[in-house]
Amino acid sequence: MLTITGQSISSELAIGMIRFYRHKKTIINDAVAADPDAELSRYQLAYHTAMEQLHLLHDKTLEQVGAEEAEIFEMHRMLLSDRQFHHAILHSIIQDHKTAEYAIYSVGEELWNRFIHMEDPYLQARGADIQDIMNRLLFLLSGKKESSMDATEPFILMAEDLSPSETVQINSSKLLGFITRQGSPYSHTAILAKTMNIPALMHIDIEEAWDGHLAIIDGEKQCLYIDPSEELIAEYQLKQASIEQKRTELQALKMLPAVTADGHSIALYANINAPTDIENAISQGAEGIGLFRSEFLYLNAQEYPDEEVQYHIYRRVLEQMPDKHIVIRTLDLGADKKSPYLALEPEENPALGYRAIRICLSRPELFKVQLRALLRAAAHGELHIMFPMITSLWEVQRAKEMVEECKAELCAEHITYGNPVLGIMIETPAAVMIAEDLAAEAGFFSIGTNDLAQYTLALDRNNARLHDFYDPHHPALIRMIRMVVEAAHKHNIPVSICGESGADLTLTRAFMEMGIDSLSVAPNALLPLKKTIREISLT
């Protein structure tokens, strides 16, 4: 028996036979094309075929996996039809007389390199989307037939890595788990694993010789067992039965309130990136949305989303959860989240630089488009608008003034709008220290524990080398959170925890003892959190 460790995506486990997936390969050379017109025709045929394939993949994924994953292929269609990407390939073929294959490869590689050198791990992982688009075009040009990943028996899939397109071709009803050499927690393989509640181990030194061998994946221990003993198989079969029992018990909590054994209640909200995430939030019993990260509308677009686009998206969120508490954070761009069309200059310390509310207040023409869309959407539900990265009182006051200016504009144009509650994120030590002043101006607080920890501990939370130094239980952080709660309640406004710490079950009792009014976490963390709350007694 072999025991190998890797990086786990979920704490699930699987027992089954390994099936090795071999990737398609296309040979690229830098030869000058003899007939540029013929190469142009070949590229255009591949382009239109790819667009049609992506449309079909979107529909298949929507039906078999879910709306969130289906959006991946709409994003691929947007990237493929991006004017700069498309024109760069055409220029390489027409002006430089390159083959269609080389033009696609060279332009795709340049774009891929930009993504993988970004600081944000999520954006780094989007480099895989660029490669997927590039490989799709190259494969179509090769004239080969699409390979199938169907299977008749349950299996554990082993591969170097998996692109989004390859991932959705898997027969998910037979898939037990993933083993890959590459990948990241933000890749689409990881997203699919989390969605389907199946184990995935990455950074495994895979060997083709394991193909056809029995294996066990233990996501919690981050271990892979090849050719396990009968005793170990029996032990894990019992564990599987226990996990299924616990999952059934958690689902039974879905409609029950988050109330402690001695009657203290707390609201549980979900954090989402897009309207397509709401279905999952509802299925996990979310009482509302505590954080809708609106910046992903900007990051996934090729140009600035206008007022109408934003209005319909925000309205969709509100109408999907009628009469529920919905918090939409104004765009939190900058630092490691950049959109090319915003033309943000490189910075030596981007986490401390031109970002979030600082961009919004200094570019009112951009901010007012979002505020107008939010105000119009507010007529359709219980909307709360949240301003991020606040460090000074004047920032809140100026943001509120701009909201009033937008209301006046809409009124003059006879456009219906609502009156959302305006609140702020507390995610800097400066905001903590002036929390009482801020509470007098805000309708609610949401404590962003991820950034608050980063700025308080002087520690880059995306730096893997600092993992051992990152301490969400640090006494300074706990004291800061308590200070914020006291300031909020002194001014009779609610306060929420929004960040990884909200799902940390070892902190749940402490948060409730402080008087936190709500916790906002990833949808899949809601039911385990509710179970913990219902088992607590505060008296």
Catalytic residue set: 188, 498
Other C-beta atoms closer than 10 Å to the C-beta of 35 total 11
Residue with tokens 């994953």: 69
Determine the number of helices (DSSP H) and then strands (DSSP E) in the chain. 21, 16
As a whole number of angstroms, the distance between CA 117 and CA 224 comes to: 30
As a whole number of angstroms, the distance between CA 464 and CA 412 comes to: 52
Backbone angles phi, psi at 289, to 5 degrees: -110, 115
As a whole number of angstroms, the distance between CA 443 and CA 493 comes to: 6
Other C-beta atoms closer than 10 Å to the C-beta of 504 total 19
Does residue 438 sit in helix, strand or coil? Answer: helix
Give the type of residue at 442: A
8 Å CB contact between 357 and 388: yes
As a whole number of angstroms, the distance between CA 128 and CA 146 comes to: 19
8 Å CB contact between 472 and 501: yes
Beta strands in 356-480 (DSSP E): 382-387, 421-426, 445-448
Token code pair at residue 381: 């539900």
As a whole number of angstroms, the distance between CA 136 and CA 48 comes to: 12
8 Å CB contact between 194 and 214: no
**Which among 286, 311, 298, 403 has a CA at the least distance from the CA of 342?**
298
8 Å CB contact between 372 and 431: no
How far out from the chain centre does Cα 65 lie? 16
